[in-house]
Amino acid sequence: MTAAVTYEPIKTCKQSGARLGRVHTPHGVIETPAFMPVGTQATVKTMSPEELKTMDAQIILSNTYHLFIRPGHEIVKEAGGLHKFMNWDRPILTDSGGFQVFSLSNMRKITEEGVTFKSHLNGDKLFLSPEKAMEIQNALGSDIMMAFDECPPFPAEYDYVKKSLERTTRWAERCLQSHARPQDQGLFAIIQGGMHEDLRKLSAEQLTSMDFPGYAIGGLSVGEPKHLMYEVLDYTTPLMPANKPRYLMGVGSPDALIEGAIRGIDMFDCVLPTRIARNGTCMTSSGRLVIRNAKYATDFGPLDAKCSCYTCTNYSRAYIRHLIKADETFGIRLTTIHNLHFLLQLMREVREAIKEDRLLDFRDTFFAAYGLNDN
Ligand SMILES: O=c1[nH]cnc2c(CCNCC3CCCCC3)c3[nH]c(NCc4cccs4)nc3cc12
Ligand SMILES: [Zn+2]
């Protein structure tokens, strides 16, 4: 049976553990390493699909938890699925909804069966389980679905992390069992194990023995120091099959994208570029720029002189600052266009550097200019 999602290795970087690849899906190919813009409620906030294509977003993410709560996955199914509903004909990845339950609704109860929680919208009592998460993602029709997992908090007791990863493995098995369309939708498992090398190994072994089309690394970017995240990646990515995509969940600051690519990560997602754009913070080649700062009131240059995006080509810092201060939606559109373009462009340069075996040099040059004041 042909798998819905396959990974084609292109090249490994001679300088590092980085690699070039292609992820083939029913809605097209993703050149990796790739950053995936987040479209929580079936839209990458303020962006049209045409604008996302112009900046060459190859795949977008959408959120099972939010779409389950509103408008409901049955409505999206009736619309013909998420691609049709949001007019996006390229690949879509949906998460299982589990992480949102753990991070959004505090009134929740976790059992072997699943998680009961209250809707953050209206307090309704809701239930998510591996089977329910698969039913919802099946209705949404995403190209890549994520298994239902538990992301342990940081820090967490060793025993808690061990019990949690073993339940995540049992939940992954239940996701596989209830996978209705393996030839149309890929299903990625999520490796847990906290910050413990032996537990990461245990989780990776348990999940890779079940042969998923792709694997994610979960449980990171949850408040641990960056060096600890990199340490976990150092010993976890080598445990993952080389012929399958590796997705590092929730990681997206520029330095973390580069460090993750160096350690063999292929796919990244992060709400950062779109979220900080909404309060006017912009990523530039010399670090973060807070446009509300008074010093930009008469600065008629672009956000970033080195950027070729629509925003930097046509508008000044002074104008964007004015729009953000005036709470004009167009201001948020301009900062979002720039931030998304910045990260997508960064990944294009990372792929170029891997092609030419100079990713470590690229990192040093980028960090020197970026001033490393990003968080
Ligand atoms: O173990 C995990 N299991 C499942 N999901 C995780 C996520 C969510 C990744 N983004 C999903 C997207 C799906 C489509 C819509 C938007 C989200 C994480 N995000 C972070 N850090 C960033 C964080 C963001 C917020 C708090 S921490 N660590 C994560 C760890 C896990
Ligand atoms: Zn720009």
> 203 in ligand 1 pocket by Cβ < 6 Å?
no
Q: Return the axis-axis angle of helices 226-236 and 254-262, rounded to nearest 10°.
A: 20
Probe target for ligand 1 pocket from 64, 82, 99, 195, with the most ligand atoms within 8 Å of CB: 99
Residue 354 near residue 18, CB atoms below 8 Å: yes
pLDDT in tens, 197-233: 999 999 999 999 998 999 999 999 999 999 999 999 9
> 218 in ligand 1 pocket by Cβ < 6 Å?
yes
**Three-class DSSP category at 21:** strand
> 149 in ligand 1 pocket by Cβ < 6 Å?
yes
282 token code pair: 């912009």
> What are the residues whose beta carbons fall under 8 Å from the beta carbon of 106, sequence distance 6 or more?
none
Q: What CA–CA distance (Å, rounded) separates 144 from 153?
A: 25
Probe target for ligand 1 pocket from 249, 268, 271, with the most ligand atoms within 8 Å of CB: 249
Distance 286 CA to ligand 2 centre (A): 13
- Please give the biggest Cα pair distance in the chain: 62
Confidence of residue 123 (pLDDT cuts 50, 70, 90): confident
Q: Which residues are catalytic?
A: 95, 269
Residue with tokens 């997705």: 247
Residue 1, pLDDT score? 57
Confidence of residue 101 (pLDDT cuts 50, 70, 90): confident
Residue with tokens 């970087």: 13
User: Which strands, in side-by-side order, build the sheet including 186-191?
Assistant: 34-36, 267-269, 246-248, 214-217, 186-191, 144-146, 92-94, 60-62
> 221 in ligand 1 pocket by Cβ < 6 Å?
yes
Q: C-alpha 24: how far from its chain's center? A: 17
Protein residues near ligand 2, an ion, with CB under 5 A: 307, 309, 311-312, 338
Distance 337 CA to ligand 2 centre (A): 7
> 250 in ligand 1 pocket by Cβ < 6 Å?
yes
Percentage of the chain exceeding pLDDT 90: 92
For the chain, report the end-to-end CA distance as a whole number of angstroms: 44
Q: C-alpha 273: how far from its chain's center? A: 11
On the question of pLDDT at 374 being above 50, the answer is no
User: How wide is the angle at C-alpha 305 spanned by C-alphas 303 and 310, nearest 5°?
Assistant: 60
Residue 105, pLDDT score? 62
Q: What CA–CA distance (Å, rounded) separates 69 from 344?
A: 30
- Whether this prediction's pTM lies above 0.90 is answered by yes
pLDDT in tens, 130-177: 999 999 999 999 999 999 999 999 999 999 999 999 999 999 999 999
Closest CA to 146 of 177, 89, 188: 188
> What are the residues whose beta carbons fall under 8 Å from the beta carbon of 267, sequence distance 6 or more?
23, 30, 32, 33, 34, 36, 245, 246, 247, 248
- Closest-lying ligand 1 atom to the alpha carbon of residue 190: 3
Residue 259 near residue 230, CB atoms below 8 Å: yes
Distance 275 CA to ligand 1 centre (A): 14
pLDDT in tens, 314-357: 999 999 999 999 999 999 999 999 999 999 999 999 999 999 99
Q: What CA–CA distance (Å, rounded) separates 99 from 223?
A: 15
> 269 in ligand 1 pocket by Cβ < 6 Å?
yes
Alpha helix positions (H), the chain: 49-54, 64-69, 73-78, 82-85, 98-104, 130-140, 158-177, 197-208, 226-236, 254-262, 272-277, 310-314, 317-325, 329-355, 359-370
Residue 2, pLDDT score? 79
Q: Return the axis-axis angle of helices 329-355 and 254-262, rounded to nearest 10°.
A: 20
- Mean pLDDT across the chain: 95
